[in-house]
Amino acid sequence: MNHTDLVLRIISNVRGFYEDRVYLTPVIQPPSVNVRVIVIMLFLVMVGTFTSTAFAQQFKEPDYEMHGGEVLGFALDPETATLTILIDPQGKGELHITLPRNLIDAKDGSEDEDFIVLINGLEYYFFDETITSSDRTVTIPFGRFNSEISIMGTQVFSRELTPAATVQPQQQIENKIISELGTEIPDGKAKLLIFSDTKWSGALQASGFDYTEVTGQRDKSIIFGCETSIIREGVFGARFQKMTDEGYLRIVAIQNQKIMDQSSTEERMGEIIINGNCVSGFGSGSGGGACLIATATFGSELAPQVQQLRELRDNKLLQTNSGSAFMSGFNQFYYLFSPTIADWERESPIFKEAVKLTITPLLTSLSILNYVDMDSESEVLGYGISLILLNIGMYFAAPALLITRLNKRFKGL
């Protein structure tokens, strides 16, 4: 074999080697149908995860006011039509929350149904609700060891979860004010209505309500103490400013189905101020406002002891002329000192417990009237005089007798 033949054979062998390598290289096959289905499902799950996260981030918290604790967060479950509120209680308190109907509602056809309220997973029946055409306001008491409140309806609506800052027509604001004037506000309290399509900030102060700074965006309502007693006239004042160049801001203070004061602005960074006198129910024909001492003692106007006093006043005493006359004279005396005692109770837990211990026998004796008929003037006078004598015996005669006997015993020693 000559040199040329040897070179040709080597080239032929090398080419055959690389041809074999190319032939033996694995060929990438297209994925099977099952593999493609799995990939598509994983993609949809990832999209759903990110979509759910974005959906939750767009959730707009309802307007609320909490006494005796702090709201930690909200969660809305469209499948069960449930709004869950996580709270951090500092003691007994209550949550006052306004739920727009375009967020969550409870209906049977066109008729309103009651919400189902759960506290720590157990159904709770003793809550108050105020219903208007646009929203439903629920007041829920809670205890020291409650951490979760759930409000169950029949339907939720997603359009509230992506709110747009649209200009609210003037007529809609007027309709809203009229609707709010028809709702019940607790005795001795008032409500500040804020209407806006932009960011705002301000401050509010009133009799029975500490100076409070508040900021927000769009509409909001604030319930605040605004009390008038026989020895002092309740007053309030609010100062708010629009935080942007564009948009509008309007505030309205209402109490006892009346507008106390209102103002509005559309100016660049416009500022508005309102103030006036409280128009609470003190001295009215209904017997005045809530029992200040009992409310401060038991922490809420919804406490059973306070409701017992209110029902006794409205359903028993005020149904007769003698009972109405007694309540009128009693209010003149009671409001001389009750605001001061109520303030002391709020400042001193020890004093509050002492007052609770002191008035418990009185409340127990008054509960007797729930089991008797008081349909005539003579019955009201008879039972009234009997209870007065009973309480004089408990609070004065019995302690005086006890002190006298102890004094004699000590002298005998």
Predicted confidence band of residue 9 (pLDDT cuts 50, 70, 90): low
- Structure token digits, residue 320: 């007769």
Is the model's pLDDT at 319 over the cut of 80?
no
Share of the chain above pLDDT 90, in %: 17
Of 224, 255, 280, the one marking the end of a domain is 280
Backbone dihedral angles phi then psi of residue 79, each to the nearest 5 degrees? -70, -40
Is the model's pLDDT at 118 over the cut of 70?
yes
305 lies in which domain range?
A: 292-403
Rounded CA-CA distance 347/340 in Å is 11
Alpha-carbon torsion 387, 370, 294, 189, what sign? negative
Q: Is residue 199 part of a domain?
A: yes
- Give the CA angle between residues 254, 128, 123 to the nearest 5°: 155
Residues 299 and 397 placed together within one structural domain of the fold: yes
Residue 258 CB partners (closer than 8 Å, separation 6+) = 181, 279
Which tens digits make up the pLDDT trace of 37-49?
Answer: 455 555 554 544 4
Which tens digits make up the pLDDT trace of 193-211?
Answer: 999 988 999 999 887 788 8
Of 280, 305, 334, the one marking the end of a domain is 280
Residues 255 and 182 placed together within one structural domain of the fold: yes
Instruction: State residue 15's pLDDT score.
Output: 52
Which tens digits make up the pLDDT trace of 326-385?
Answer: 777 777 677 677 778 887 887 888 998 999 999 988 888 888 877 777 767 777 788 888
What's the number of domains the chain is made of?
Answer: 3
More confident call, 128 vs 311: 128
Rounded CA-CA distance 246/199 in Å is 10
Residues 204 and 274 placed together within one structural domain of the fold: yes
Rounded CA-CA distance 117/318 in Å is 34
Is the model's pLDDT at 398 over the cut of 90?
no
CATH number for the domain harbouring residue 223: 2.60.40
Q: Output the pTM of the full model.
A: 0.35
| 72-76, 171-175, 278-282, 355-359: least confident range | 278-282
Mean pLDDT of 220-241: 79
CA proximity to 117, closest of 141, 90, 88, 133? 141
Question: Please, what is the average pLDDT of the chain?
Answer: 77
